[in-house]
Structure 1
Amino acid sequence: MLKPARRRRRRHRLLRRALLGLAICLLTPVLLSLVVALYLQHQLAGQIERIDGVFGGNHDRPAKTVVATRAVNILLLGTDRRSDEPTTGTAATAASWVAGAQRSDAIMVLHIDGDRRGASVISIPRDSWVTIPGHGPGKINAAFSYGGPSLAVRTIENVTGIRIDHLAVVDRNGFRELTDSLGGVTLDVPETVHDSYRDVTWTAGRHTMSGDEALDYVGQRAGLPGGDFDRIHRQQHFLRTVLDETLTQELVKEPRHAYRVLDILTKNLSVDSDWSVGQMRGLLVSLRHLRSAGIGYLTVPVAGTGMEGSQSVVHLDRAGNEELWNAVRDDTVSDWLATNPASETPAAVG
């Protein structure tokens, strides 16, 4: 017969074994999920193409203000190269930049607030007449054509006075593949409009657009009352729809679908080589509480349109832009937008 002390020790051993077994049963799926998540993260991040020397050649870059050290400014460029070959991401089979071959069709600055509770997507009209370093006056989208990503960043920093932290570039092929991977994107067209350039008519109502259709829709300006300004609104409306209805809802419910979309995105995306995987992961984690309602969409203030020689251009409102970019530097964009509602992208666009 076991003595009381031995019985207690035996019960303790049995209890420890039982608890250890229970812990293994509970933790194994968690650990397995963690390993899988880390593997997928590494695999996806490894697919992103890196662009070297993006911030080189500019030794007089704007500094961050003390109050906005945690804020992040990302320059988003959509290139307009008409090519059947991808030019961005690891899926690229053609050069990402060839002098004179392409321009930046969409130019946006994504400003992420320092407290990570808000963000702003700020569009700059591609025909904005600015000074391009080393080339003199020209349309802002020509900077990418003249000197690639590095000159594009340098031009944006000189025009805005803000410091760009990172760059992300996607071409038309990437846009098309991403849209198709989502099963199309559904947009509401408020009124019937005809695109005489592409000979396409968009009837009023709801349309689920394929990649090719979405490219036509966000690229149209012929037949739109506001021309290029309406095109900017369409680009932002498309982005807002993707974030609101697709990424934040459907993909969360379907992990396999989410992986397929992220796989397509990372294969077609190019970013600056200074943007490490760890920095990307840290930024994504810090944005876990950001909701779509906290993202504002706006266009920089403009003074009007005009001609510079034979070129139709957009003249920026210097005073309005100075106020806006000061707000970006001070991390107070939401306050600026509240007092300048005319710059905000309307909820419904033509």
Structure 2
Amino acid sequence: MRQRQRTDETDRGILPPDGSTPEPGGTGSEEPDGPGSTKPARRRTRRTRLVLLTALTLLGLGLALVLGSSWWAYEHYTGRVDRIPGAFPTNVPESARPQESAGGQTYLLVGIDRRSDLPTTGADAGGAVQWKPGAQRSDTMMLVHIPQDRDNAYVVSLPRDSWVPVPGHGSAKLNAAFSWGGPPLLIDTVQRLTKVKVDHLAVIDWSGFKKLTDAVGGVDITIPTTTPRRNGGRQWTAGTHHMDGEEALDYVRERHGLPRGDLDRTQRQQEFLKRVLDKTLSSGNLANPLKAKKLLDTVTATVSVDDRLTDSALRDLMWDMRGVRTRHMVFMNAPVAGFDTIDRQSVVVLDRGAMQPLWEAMRNDTMDVYTAKYPVDRLGDTAR
């Protein structure tokens, strides 16, 4: 009878299932909710735990959405970057091949008028892309060295009028190599000149870069001295100018009336590139989803890379260099001995002796040591 009574009390919630006597404040307790009661405190504790658990759950879901969106953006946009087939030279004699770099990677950055100048189809039966002589034009060539730690970058401009040996064509201006044989001949020429291995090729479409400039709201460029404008236009007056894409492109293509001709033009190109990168990487642009999408759409329509640079390698590069800004970069010109006229052409004469330590530092991934030891023609020192 006593056992049945305890069972009835358990079923009604008066006693716990094990039949033990309830603790004060527990199930079945008749403790009032008065001043000495522990019920309100316990209820507040339960509510606090519930709120914290809900907040952590929402935070976790939000983080998952952000990471998922970021990964989708990486996957989506790296996959949209155009690849250039057959960009590297073949059948290069072993004696002319560059040695492997000790660390880091070196990119050859080329600026062209229109990306449509680059063939994406039309390979012959052997798989080689047919580069049509004269179809491609470039007035911008830069070697961009990214150290192994990927904490900064070194940008070295090669003047387009540099008088150099072009394989199979004798000596000519550097930009003639691109015109005659596209990226393969240009890469072969640069590698034989510098003995630096070009790991990857990146091509900038200047017409697309003009759109990118407009997409970031224009750029501020400071002109140290008043200089003429191309095609007989009005002068570029000294001072800071806010330029849209069309004005900036006109500015960087000017070389007549500049004290150092092609050298000053390469520094203008570097300045333009730096300012656009500054605006593109600014938190205001990247933090706004709509602006970021527009910028990324424009960037992927502006830049092409060689087909050896995979999507995963491109994503790794972007991730590793996510904190690098233009203040971490060093911009400079290749050492120049002077100017000359050869075959009735105005040319730039490179300083072969002064170049050797530079290319050696690039091969050995010691550009920081080089820039600390040698005077370099840095961006901003003599730009006009």
Q: Which amino acid aligns with 1:144?
A: F
Q: Which residue number corresponds to residue 147 of structure 1?
A: 181
Q: Which residue number corresponds to residue 221 of structure 2?
A: 187
Q: Which amino acid aligns with 1:104?
A: S
Q: Which amino acid aligns with 1:321?
A: M
Q: Which residue number corresponds to residue 291 of structure 2?
A: 257
What is the CA distance between 1:35 and its match in structure 2? 2.2
Count residues with an aligned counterpart: 335
Q: Which residue number corresponds to residue 281 of structure 1?
A: 315
Distance 1:232 1:79 in 2: 14
Residues 67-116 of structure 1: CA distance to partner in whole angstroms, max 9, x if unpaired?
x33x01011000146xxx854699xxxx9964213322100011011122
Secondary structure of the residue that 1:141 maps to in structure 2? helix
What is the CA distance between 1:123 and its match in structure 2? 0.2
What is the CA distance between 1:337 and its match in structure 2? 2.0
What is the CA distance between 1:319 and its match in structure 2? 0.8
Q: Which residue number corresponds to residue 100 of structure 2?
A: 64
Q: Which residue number corresponds to residue 375 of structure 2?
A: 341
Which among 165, 176, 195 is matched to residue 131 of structure 1?
165
Distance 1:104 1:296 in 2: 23
Q: Does the 8 Å contact 2:252/2:265 carry over to 1?
A: yes
Which among 79, 84, 88 is matched to residue 51 of structure 1?
84
Pairing 1:2–2:16 present: yes
Residues 278-311 of structure 1: CA distance to partner in whole angstroms, max 9, x if unpaired?
1011112222343433210110111111121121
Answer 1 or 2: higher relative contact order, Cα 8 Å, separation at least 6: 1
Identical amino acids, percent of aligned pairs: 41
Pairing 1:209–2:243 present: yes
What is the CA distance between 1:23 and its match in structure 2? 4.8
**Which range moved further: 42-51 or 154-163?**
42-51
Q: Which amino acid aligns with 1:33?
A: V
Assess, with a 3 A threshold, how the Cα gap between structure 1 residues 204 and 96 changes in structure 2: closer, same or farther. Answer: farther
Q: Which residue number corresponds to residue 10 of structure 1?
A: none
Q: CA RMSD in A?
A: 3.0
Structure showing greater Rg: 2
Q: Does the 8 Å contact 1:54/1:149 carry over to 2?
A: yes
Residues 131-185 of structure 1: CA distance to partner in whole angstroms, max 9, x if unpaired?
1112221111111111111111111111110111111112221121111111111
Q: Which amino acid aligns with 1:62?
A: P
Distance 1:168 1:62 in 2: 19
Q: Which residue number corresponds to residue 332 of structure 1?
A: 366
Q: Does the 8 Å contact 1:190/1:205 carry over to 2?
A: yes
TM-score, structure 2 as length reference: 0.79
Q: Does the 8 Å contact 1:167/1:272 carry over to 2?
A: yes
Q: Which residue number corresponds to residue 11 of structure 1?
A: none
